[in-house]
Structure 1
Amino acid sequence: MKQKDELKREAIINETIAIVYDKGFTAVKMARIAKKVDISPSTLYVYFKSKDDLIQTIATDLLKKLTDIGQDQLKSELPYKLKFKAIWIFYINFGINNRKEVSFIHQVKQSPYFEMIPKEIRQLKSTFIFDLLDEGKRQGLIKNLDNTILSVLLEAFMNETVKLIDTKTLELNEADTNTMFALAWDAIKN
């Protein structure tokens, strides 16, 4: 069995994310990826058993990484609103600086691949966001509404903020970031 090279694995992952970003899942062909990263198709299968395994692995890793970083912010000793804002800014920055990865995650969530991701990973982000919202409710700072409704509202605000920055309608500056955060905060605050 061939030895795995971490740089080759990263190249395979990055090429797959780029293909999905540009053309969607149907354009992901194992032979094409192997050619782009300059390995043989048989070598590619040393790293990933199939296209499904490749996509599921990337999605699982991305979701776990994103949630782990957010959970670290949740442990912060900052007052609730500042902690909430720090998490908000982290996700906005992540969306801006990782467009291809965010697009990959969005596409996975709207496809059958999402069900291939282990359930505990699929639920990580919801659990993290729900914990954050529950903390705000316990402190009387957040409306006592269903967490699913609140989280969808916040995700829509974040996604649209990233789009507005991408299209240069908003600038990535303190004033515009504060405005968008204030609108989101006003929508959920008690």
Structure 2
Amino acid sequence: MIREKAIEIIVKHGFDGLSMHKLAKSAGVSVATIYIYFKDREDLIQQLYTEETRKMADATLRNFDPEARFDEGLKVQWLNRMNYCLENPYSMTFMEQLKHSPLVSRATMDTRFLNAMSRFVHKAIEQKEIVSLPVEIYWSIAFAPLYQLVKFHISKTSMPGRPPFVFDEAKINQTLELVIKALKP
């Protein structure tokens, strides 16, 4: 309950909105109880980030084969990531808020995940399925469209003057096809 409420508070009110007193009240526990599990607010945030990124990594790797053809492997990743985000919208938003924050150390990334992703991309480059790019550019092309469309879907919004966006199978396939095309040599 403490973890769930902390993520919810951070998503709704930002980092400054999270105090141990506010969290204790929201979780229905005493402040002392929180300090049994977490050294301080920063430790709580770091542990939450580490746990949430591990859950996301586990979900992404489900039925994923780093030796798969690029288009097949990317589709598995997309569907896994999308399903995880749709099932855990607070977690997705929380991770987005923290991704580039000095409040967390990214040194705790799951090496199993990093190794699988690295092998997958390097194999695709070796096989000439995709072009060699800096990892930040690769990630921006391969995954930013997915996460932006998931955000539209979750928030039930779209571009101004348009009906709410629904990320259905046809739109997933269309977007994924364009992403793969953009990464090909």
Compared CA separation, residues 14 and 155, structure 1 to 2 (3 A)? same
Cα deviations across residues 88-141 of structure 1 (Å, max 9, x unaligned)? 1111222222221111111112321123x5x14177755543332112112221
Matched, 1:48 2:38: yes
Deviation at 1:12, TM superposition (A): 0.2
Structure 2 residue corresponding to 1:37, chosen from 24, 27, 31: 27
Q: Percent identity?
A: 25
Matched, 1:153 2:176: no
Cα deviations across residues 146-177 of structure 1 (Å, max 9, x unaligned)? 33311122232122221232326432321111
Matched, 1:110 2:138: no
Matched, 1:174 2:145: no
Matched, 1:135 2:130: no
The answer to whether the Cα contact below 8 Å between 1:59 and 1:105 also exists between their aligned partners in 2 is yes
CA RMSD across the alignment: 2.3
Corresponding residue number in structure 1 for 2:161: none
Q: Distance in 2 between matches of 1:95 and 1:15?
A: 18
Could you tell me which amino acid in structure 1 is paired with residue 25 of structure 2?
A: K
The answer to whether the Cα contact below 8 Å between 2:153 and 2:167 also exists between their aligned partners in 1 is yes
The structure whose residues are more often helix, as a share, is: 1
Q: Distance in 2 between matches of 1:34 and 1:102?
A: 23
The answer to whether the Cα contact below 8 Å between 1:165 and 1:171 also exists between their aligned partners in 2 is yes
Q: Distance in 2 between matches of 1:153 and 1:95?
A: 18
Deviation at 1:31, TM superposition (A): 1.1
Q: Distance in 2 between matches of 1:179 and 1:146?
A: 25
The answer to whether the Cα contact below 8 Å between 2:2 and 2:23 also exists between their aligned partners in 1 is yes
Q: Distance in 2 between matches of 1:130 and 1:147?
A: 10
Corresponding residue number in structure 2 for 1:6: none
Corresponding residue number in structure 2 for 1:64: 54
Q: Distance in 2 between matches of 1:130 and 1:149?
A: 14
TM-score scaled to structure 2, two decimals? 0.84
Unmatched 5+ stretches in structure 2? 159-163
Q: Distance in 2 between matches of 1:94 and 1:103?
A: 12
Compared CA separation, residues 86 and 57, structure 1 to 2 (3 A)? same
Helix, strand or coil: the match of 1:149? helix
Matched, 1:164 2:152: yes
Corresponding residue number in structure 2 for 1:99: 89
Q: Distance in 1 between matches of 2:11 and 2:68?
A: 36
Q: Distance in 2 between matches of 1:136 and 1:76?
A: 9
Unmatched 5+ stretches in structure 1? 1-10
